[in-house]
Structure 1
Amino acid sequence: MHQEEPGSRVEALERKNAVLEGINRIFREMLAIRSDEALGQLCLSIAEEVTGATISFMGAINTATDQLDDLAISPGGWAAFSMNDPAFSHGVAPSGLKIHGIYGRVLRDGRTEIANDPASHRDRIGTPHGHPPLTSFMGVPLLVGTRVVGMIGLGNRPGGFGPEEREVMEALAPAMCQALVSRRTGRALATSESKLRRLFDTIDEGIARIELLYDADGAATALRWLEVNRAFSQHTTLGDVTGQVVSEVMPHYPRAWIERYAQILRTGRAERFERHVPELNRWFSIYAAPAADGGANEVALVFTDITGRKQAEAALRESRARLETLVAGIPHLVWRAEDHGAWTWASPQWTAITGQTEPDSLAFGWLDRIHPDDRERACEAWAQADARRAYRADYRIWHVADDRYRWFQTRAVPRRAEDGTIVEWLGTSTDVHELRQLQDRQQLLVAELQHRVRNMLSVVRSVFARSIEMGGSPEEGASHFKGRLDALARTQVIVTRSASGRVDLENLIRDELLSVGAANAPNVRLDGPDVALPASAAESLGLAVHELTTNAIKYGALRCTAATLSIGWNILAAEDGERTLVLTWVEDGVDDITDAPMQGFGRELIEDALPYRLGAQTRLEFGPRGVRCTIAITLHEEREDAHGFELR
């Protein structure tokens, strides 16, 4: 059996010790090293010590360019380096090296390559001008698993490189690679953590990691804040509460919140909810989930302060409630519609007035409560609304309480978006039924007034002409005309006192007697029911009463204190429903006036004009004890027109 020489065993042991010392030195000193280049310098220094190489470099494959970037060159290498190339500055490890030649073989094959005569190596490509001459070369790959990530190149060992140097470097290379990868991973992790911390502290949402605390029975009773960001401290106004138990800063923290977090831990499902914190007078939207990298009792929370939104929502609800109260209190039908009149909402007044529910009124259902004769006009107004920039229409709407249609004035204006397009129409319908009645009544009254003025002028002209034709002196004719004109004026006064334009018969007679001071005379008696006369009949009958009164003053019962005057009237109803007014004027106790002068205008008025104008039946007698006159006028049945006032 071959026995190893004692000297060889000692050398092998020394090499192992050198490897272990090198590995310890790498991991011991790497903690204080600030750069990859400095770590590479450390590794190269150890490699040169254990192999005897005089120059060395460490490089890494750039996966983005598939080229070799040198991480470090040993001091011996820099000392021998005399290249004067701007692309490779002295003291700066070169990068972007094409992977070829002998070191390319190491990187491509992933195996250690030794070339003690580089000039004759099959992959030799030579060295650039200024590169230290190579008398020997050994390249050792740096592996992560089976993937080559870089290499260490050693050169110019006196006597060349052998199996012992190869063994040592292949033992050291994993530690050197691990140190390099660990440093890079640690740096990337630190960078990532720094970025995460900056993000953690700069985002608007409050973030916290909490730990639930349980009692002996396994019930969650409290929580501790393990970590919070700046936004959490600002939103809650609690400051930095890291490490504190909630009861220390919020004695009345809701127990329900703690139970909610415990439920999230039990189910493993994240939840989002909103809560009001009375102690802070703030509203929060909270997203809670089991902490992914925390302990079994840890929950991650994301807080968003929604106090402003809640206040805005409350203000909006209050504003909407005020608006609804206002809309419900105004005496109008309020509605909203899309283009062309399709309703989207109707106020409660619509249902109260029409009996149609709001859902039934939507779209074009509201047309069902419009008078059939007005529906086409209502739709035509919508066709013109856009061009007019307003909707205007008057139509009749069914009024359920009155059991009939009433006139409404409808107006609407558009609400537009920023680009000018119409979003919706806002409209009201106002009850104008009485107003339209008054307008129609006004038109009718104007026409009636014009008719009456023409009639009155005709009567005045006739009275004037007959007063002049009766002869006598001008003074006497003027006196008669003035009296008759006053009688007409008194009748018109009575007419204008009544909104219906009708005249009370008793008032007509009393006003005439009053004009001569006989209204309350003891020898005058008036008796009869209430009778309302049309204006035209009152004018002619008033003149007749005036003529009888004038005659009584001059020649009859109002001249003689011993005489009496009885004026009576009554209504006689026939079987066919026709009614007749019978007025009697009876004087008694007057001297014989058979030859009294009532032979002119007054007599013509009673015996001719009344029958002609009113179809009256009259009888005028001059008896031995005074005048007796009977006037019978048919009172035609009166009717109400659509506006509720009377027509002849």
Structure 2
Amino acid sequence: MRESLRKSGINIIGDIPWGTHFCQFYQTKEDLMDILVPYFKAGLESNELCVWITSRPLEVEEAKEAMKKAVPDIDFYLEKGQMEIIPYIHGYIKEGVFDPDRVMNDWIEKIDQVMASGYDGLRASGDNRWLEKEGWDDFVDYEKKVDAFVDKHHVIALCPYYLDMCNPAEIIDVISNHEFALIKKKGKWEQIENSGRKRAEKEATEAAKSWKSTFDAVPDLIAIIDNEYRIVRANRAMAARLGVTQEECVGLTCHCAIHGTDKPHSFCPHRQLLKDGAEHTTEVCEDYLGGYFGVSTTLLHDSEGKLIGSVYVARDINELKQEEHRICRYNSILEGINWIFSNVMQAKTEEELGNACLSVALEITGSQFGFINEMGADGLLHDIAKSELGWEQCLMYDKTGHRCPPNDYIVHGLYSSVIKNAKSFFTNDPLSHPDSIGLPNGHPPITSFLGVPLIQDGKTVGLIAVANREKGYSCEQQEDLEAIAPAVTQALQRKKEEQEREQAERALMESDERFRSVLENSLDSAYRINLQNKRFDYMSPVIERITGFSVKDIDASGSNGLLDHIHPDDRPRVTVEIVRSLEEGFGAHEYRFKCKDGKYRWLADHFSIIKDKTGMACFRAGIVRDITGRKKAEETIRLSNIYNRSLIEASLDPLVTIGHDGKITDVNGATEQVTGYLRDELIGTDFSDYFTEPEKAHEGYQKVFTDGTVWNYPLEIQHKDGHITPVLYNASVYKNETGTVIGVFAAARDITERKKAEEKIQILANAVESSEDAIITKSLDGTITSWNKGAEKVYGYPAEEVLGKNISMLEPDDLKGQIKHFSEKIKHGERIQHYETLRLKKEGTKIKLRAATPP
């Protein structure tokens, strides 16, 4: 309020700011007119609404006449409503009573009307000569409230006091509630300052200057907003972002200035603060401000503790959001790849696996529908998977009139562009694309299209196509779909867990490499150091986002000061590189830098030395990049490799990798155990040398190179102590990032125990089958599950007539339930010894036999 000066019209005072509240001691009506007439004349000329509350000895009509002499067209102002001259009985008294609170509410309503009507502010004066002695204390309290009210609004108030009505104590009361007083001495008006208030104002002014400097230096957008959503003050950053001056911000409604709306949004933190009296924080995306901002509102109270508004702070978080978006994309792709490979073992059919891959493609691109096709030997594209939504919207019919989507596609149109060029592309106007051949009748409408080829061993084997993203496609969706395409190709080609894990690790590494640049693609900070004075000639402001130190902080520290912030373990290496660069003319190093928040961040510094004509080094110019994210990613990959190696070593099955020459390139601990040789002894030797049949082992791994895989290939591993271990080998080729086969990955399963078990089972089966005793097995519910030759001979039934039937068929009627009774005992852990009983033969005769029922 105090920044804008207004003409007072009173020579002895001069210009005064809004919020000025002063008084006049008078003795005659001429004294009143001497001050009030020029006072209100200046207000009318300054586009202020003027209110003059009169009392004897100067009545309303006399006041109008006095004003008319100074302002000939006063009637115009009176009719317009810019000048109000009213008696005290309308201004102060209602129904014969002076109510301070009612009068204050009237002034508050009046200032709201003033500002709404386009006036710069309110200029008022109210004579209190009507006041009786018994009402003095109430009026003094009223003056205190007026003083507080005037100080916070576009108001200037002059309070005339009839000197003969005031005793010395009352004069002190009056002066204490006003900034200064006017009194006439020896025919001249003099200004009497309120000394206590003057000192307080001086201190407040100095504090305000300091506060204003800090307020304007903050890069965040800050505004003070009142209870009516009006901006009371805005800092330099807020004004600049809104494209206006700080002065022009004052009086604007925040929702109009910041959001461009006629009323506040429901999520408005200032609105919520006014509603519940609590501080609020939220994130908004606002075009008027320029993107994403973190917004907070803090309670603002007056000296009496009344809520009068909030401090609104908006921090630019666009870079943070971009980084979050990049990380989100990175994580979504990694999650998608993991989901694809986790479905390799779970999917029962290629179609199920294809649908899992397609669901990932649709999710990461935000597409409505799509499909995955593979190239067939017939030169057509064949469906692996198609989205449900695409099928639901398809109204194509076959020759018999049944609704049916196409399953085979001729390679032409948009698909041809992807397949034949082996390159991805997207279009947001498919029908106008040069390669478009239109859509068949009943095909769902295509508003946008994105296709990515599936490539294996350098050959295009199919494509992923998605369509109808709500806002169309961009390079971002193309890159994301390209990132998962290799995983889709690998998943559709591999069937075993070992190969899937190998492919997932490689896909993860490929994704890490592809997106590391995205994570590191933050704004870099450029700088130039004067090597003579060790000061910075230039440092781009983004350094503050990276380190927390402002350009001013950096400049004050100089290059030597910044060296102290480098991690002690990195400092010697950085110093050596700086010295070396003076000879080489360039340099680069990575180091940990202690930021303003006390945390270390990894920085990469690439620089060159600028020399003068004599060869003397004058400047070092470079670029600083925050590589903390990259360092963390590298550490994650390192730990991931350690973890994956530990999984391989934890396998009980012997695992081995073989090169094209048949030499072993790597083994796990299980291979060491089964052969008796250490890993270093095995690597570089012939794979075939460790089997009882070396030629068969040689043929096995050569078959893998030829066919791509072998399954359950029987071999016998020979330990160096002569022990033989029968195994079944499963193996497949593995490739590098370019798709070139670089070796064979083989896993052996020890089948020693299985062979022993098979031999025992066979011996038992032979014994059962050759026994002349009737041997029958049944389930717990009584179903016959086996029936040997002895049973056929005893009971007369061939096996095919009884298998699957209930054993109660062999019980005579008088013994029905006996077998079930024994079964119940067996269920409870009892053992049934030999017993004699009767059973029925096929022809119906009873036979007496001795039986046993083991569990």
**Shorter-normalised TM range:** 0.3 to 0.5
Instruction: Work out which of the two has the higher radius of gyration on C-alpha atoms and give 1 or 2.
Output: 1
With the length of structure 1 as denominator, give the TM-score of the two structures: 0.33
Query: Given the two structures, how large is their TM-score scaled by the length of structure 2?
Result: 0.26
